[in-house]
Structure 1
Amino acid sequence: MAHHGITLFDIPSTTPQPWAPNIWKIRFILNYKRLPYRTTWVEFADVENTLRSIGAPPSSVRADGRPVYSLPVIVDPRGAQGQPVVLSRADVIAEYLESTYPARAIFPEGSRALQSLFVHHVHEVLAKPLLPILVPLSHQRLPERSQAHYPAGGAPPLGGAEREQAWRAAKDQFAFLAALMDKNIGDPTCDGIVAMGRSVTYADFALCSVLIWIEQVSPRDGWARVRSWNDGRWDRLRAKCREYMDVY
């Protein structure tokens, strides 16, 4: 794919594919909408300086008033009045890409509120029990310089009993979501896999981003478990999203 387009910033890793779920949400959208883009790899140690240098807005502000710079960030050179658009935060970027490039919609008409709630649930509830398992494993997959810059992620991985307890909590959350999504089954327009019935949408990309995270940092333990849960529905969802998983 020739590059005449958007730059997506991501973190280098030793995993076969990138793992950061918030960044995957945006990569999915770019691939789904067939927008030309390329990935620029930035080590953790360089994120703040890099983002400041391109004029990216901070993703949040600390209690002491200091700005926080984090990924994902995109630069779209085709902005209004010929000025590049630089955006941070996955939700802001998703809204921008949908409104600027409406072809192949990720928010079917009238679905933004419910999809936003679904994505919030995936991020804030479903993924919570996974954090103590996956954050240390993710840290181990960073280049050495990034590991040194990001010591908070270097907590020791959970031990046997604690890990099993965390996986049980995660399994309960996935089962809850599966029960909700199963309410679509029986509707002749639904395939029983995706959140909105038949076509993939932002909700599926948010959920699949978590699946990729598990698969990349815990392939033999985590993904081996999750892909078998709920009669293999998460493996089927990942397969449904596979064609939008290229990394440019």
Structure 2
Amino acid sequence: MAATESNPIILYDIISLADPPAWSPNVWRARFVLNYKRLPYKTIWVSLPDIASTLQSLGVEPSPAGMPYTLPVIADPTASGPPKIIRESLAIAQYLDITYPDIERPLFPNGSHALQALFLHHVSNGILPTMRDLIIPLVPPILDEAALPHFRRTREAFLKKPLEEARPKGAELEEAWGKAKEQFGVLDSALQKNDVRLGGTGGNLVLGKQPSYADFILVAWFVAMSKLESSEDGNIWEKVKGWHAGRWERMWKECEGFMQVM
């Protein structure tokens, strides 16, 4: 491929009212990858209801199994002809790691593929289901006006209830946070094995001191949480970051150098 400063990779991201506008955790995964691998790119901001028409204009087909058009998508310039279009954050990470190899900054170091797949599985199937009702109802205040009807319609269909009723309250809220913390605790127990006293390398990342895609999977959600406020809980990231002896805040700090919004 041929990405340069004058002909960069294009990252399609979902606009918001936040500063900077980047908020979608799935797109943040791709953004982390681009920043970590030091690849030239620029962002094209898209409102939620315009994602389908934007991707159709790029010749992107609907996702398999009737899934809606979603971001992230990148357009990687070629030496001749149209750019290469890659969709979905994991596919983007794998594509960029192969297409733009960097022996100093691999996303999937040798021998880590299975571990990273297990990490993604737990985040997707363990942590996120417990956080869903805590997070989704808090998103509307950061959305642009055009996105609000689309977000409400699609998320209420997913949650099977109005957004105003989706977030637990009172004792149910505390129970929901307890379940979320328990699932984070599963990861904490695994990451404790990196302790040098147990023969590990030390460090605050999934692979110890070596950044990898697995770190970006989780920290992308931390960035999204940092944009969200609740009258009951305050800032969501502020609530989570101190869990498990501050492990998650330390992981965030390790990834701060890759949080640029181009």
Q: Answer yes or no: same fold by TM over 0.5.
A: yes
1:242 aligns with 2:256: yes
With the length of structure 1 as denominator, give the TM-score of the two structures.
0.91
Task: Name the SS for the 1:127 alignment partner.
Answer: helix
Unaligned runs of 5+ in 2: 157-162
Task: Name the SS for the 2:107 alignment partner.
Answer: coil
1:188 is displaced (CA, Å) by 6.2
User: Matched residues in 1 for 2:255 and 2:191: separation?
Assistant: 16
Contact 2:130 2:179 in 1 (8 A): yes
Task: Name the SS for the 2:139 alignment partner.
Answer: helix
Q: Structure 1 residues 228 and 144 mapped into 2: Cα distance closer, same or farther (>3 Å)?
A: same
Task: Name the SS for the 2:98 alignment partner.
Answer: helix
Contact 1:30 1:37 in 2 (8 A): yes
Matches within 5 A, 1:1-248: 2-17=5-20, 18-62=22-66, 68-78=68-78, 82-103=81-102, 104-152=105-153, 153=155, 155-156=163-164, 157-186=167-196, 190-218=201-229, 220-248=234-262
User: Taking every aligned residue pair, what percent have the same amino acid on both sides?
Assistant: 38
User: Matched residues in 1 for 2:240 and 2:126: separation?
Assistant: 16
Contact 2:12 2:45 in 1 (8 A): yes
TM-align CA RMSD: 2.0
Corresponding pairs, count? 243
User: Matched residues in 2 for 1:59 and 1:213: separation?
Assistant: 24
Residue of structure 1 in register with 2:159 after alignment: none
Cα deviations by residue, 1:130-161 (Å, 9 ceiling, x for unpaired): 11111111133211210112223361143233
Choose 184-193 or 29-38, whichever is displaced more.
184-193
Unaligned runs of 5+ in 1: none
Task: Name the SS for the 2:124 alignment partner.
Answer: helix
1:61 is displaced (CA, Å) by 2.5
Cα deviations by residue, 1:2-33 (Å, 9 ceiling, x for unpaired): 45211111111122342211111100000000
Contact 1:8 1:75 in 2 (8 A): yes
1:109 is displaced (CA, Å) by 1.0
